[in-house]
Amino acid sequence: MISKNVNSLIKVSILSSLSIFSAPLFATEKTIPELVDAVNGTLDTESREAGKKVKLRNHAKGFCTSGVFKPSAKINNALAIPLFNQAEIGVIARFSLGGTNPHASDKGAGRFMSLKIDGNNESLNFVTTNSQVFFASDIDDFFTFQTKVKQGAEGKQWLIDNKPDAKAFFEHIDQMLPSSSFANSAYFGVNSFLFNTYDNQITAGRWIFEPVEEKSTLSQVQLAHLTDDFLKEELLTRIKAKPAMWNVYIKFAEEGDSIDDPTILWPESRQHLLVGEVIINGSRDDEAATLQCEKSIFNPVQLPKGIAPSADPILNARAPAYIESFIRRL
């Protein structure tokens, strides 16, 4: 448990970095605390204080494990990212479900994977989901979506009737089937980043994690024989015998593709570059970084030299929102 003194030091440090976000973001009236309230469903003082007491957070149901990232031997022929000069880099992974319920059922279709790749001098974090489609292109629509879905069926129908991006998102996830494991799910970074190429150009791309194992989904009959908590045990048991592995790609944009809107999918015909391989094997599960993973933040704009965030407002709101949520749980 973190001591009160350490808690205070952490809070002072983070509040200093957060102060620039106290004003509204971009062309919106919404602030970072308001966005966190929308996600948590704590839009009034009473519920907000109650949420702090129970350490309310998004992706509340999840667990951490570890492994390594091995960059492709040829990656430096394409990109100028010094971090990828290392032959092998340690990984901390958190697998989770969406939402604030720590007792949510694993039988839904949503799967999330966050990664910290900590090199000798730099780090690279990922925040990914098994859905390629995002539900909002700007901060106002993000806030509206989060508040409306908390209203249940009526709020969802309002979004379908009034927000085309939300409608497309619901249509996409309604077609998704639950995977049988975190290990055989593909994961996508819905936000775009800017990458330095070996010939001093800058190109936009999005992350894709393709499982090495064949993808497998579960029928309703199969789900009926599983508990609501099967995913954690399945993965941790699996990696004792054989690592879970993903090939990591960057999907590059072409001229005319929308870079700053996470609701717009780029065609599958776009170039894919193999960056490396994530291998989750539990090899660092006894180390402090893994054991304390739940007390850390996966910051998608913590980037090494050669990678920069795009102007996507959703991407650039993530880090301060994660910090605000973290502070409330101290």
Instruction: Identify whether the C-beta of residue 279 lies closer than 8 Å to the C-beta of residue 242.
Output: no
Q: Which band of pLDDT confidence, cut at 50, 70 and 90, is reported for residue 74?
A: very high
Q: Is the pLDDT of residue 18 over 60?
A: no
Residue 25 pLDDT grade (very low, low, confident, very high; cuts 50, 70, 90): low
pLDDT band of 21, cuts 50, 70, 90: very low
Catalytic residue among 59, 103, 172, 272: 59
Q: Could you read off the pLDDT of 118-164 as tens digits, one per residue?
A: 999 999 999 999 999 999 999 999 999 999 999 999 999 999 999 99
User: Residue 230's pLDDT band (boundaries 50, 70, 90)?
Assistant: very high
pLDDT category at 24 given cuts 50, 70, 90 is low
Q: Encoding tokens for residue 236?
A: 């941790």
Strands 244-252, 202-211: pairing kind: antiparallel
Residue written as tokens 């993000």?
142
- Is 249 labelled as part of a ligand binding site? no
Determine the pLDDT at residue 29.
75
Cα(240)–Cα(180) distance, integer angstroms: 17
State the average pLDDT over residues 19-33. 63
Q: For this structure, is 59 an active site residue?
A: yes
| pLDDT value for 20 | 36
| Phi and psi, residue 211, nearest 5° | -65, 140
- Other CB atoms within 10 A of residue 277 CB: 18
Q: What average pLDDT does the structure give for the chain?
A: 92
* pLDDT beyond 50 at 15: no
What residue ranges define each of the domains in the chain, with the CATH number in brackets? 4-328 (2.40.180.10)
**pLDDT at residue 162 in the model:** 98
Instruction: Report how far residue 129's alpha carbon sits from residue 119's, in angstroms, rounded to the nearest whole number.
Output: 23
Cα dihedral sign, 85-91-96-101: negative
The more confidently predicted of residues 26 and 53 is 53
Bridge partners for 307 per DSSP: 195
CA distances from 123 to 205, 277, 290, 299 (A): 18, 16, 15, 10
- Predicted pLDDT of residue 23: 45
pLDDT given at position 13 = 37
Query: Which residues touch 86 (CB under 8 Å, ≥6 apart)?
Result: 71, 119, 120
What's the confidence (pLDDT) of residue 278?
A: 98
58, pLDDT greater than 90: yes
Query: Across the strands, what pairs with 249?
Result: 208, 274
Q: What is the pLDDT of residues 182-229, one digit of tens each?
A: 999 999 999 999 999 999 999 999 999 999 999 999 999 999 999 999
Q: How confident is the model at residue 12 (pLDDT cuts 50, 70, 90)?
A: very low
What is the percent of the chain with per-residue pLDDT over 90, rounded to a whole number?
A: 90
What the block records as the tokens of 172 is: 């996409």
Q: Which of 17-31, 247-261, 263-277, 311-325 is predicted with the least confidence, judged by mean pLDDT?
A: 17-31
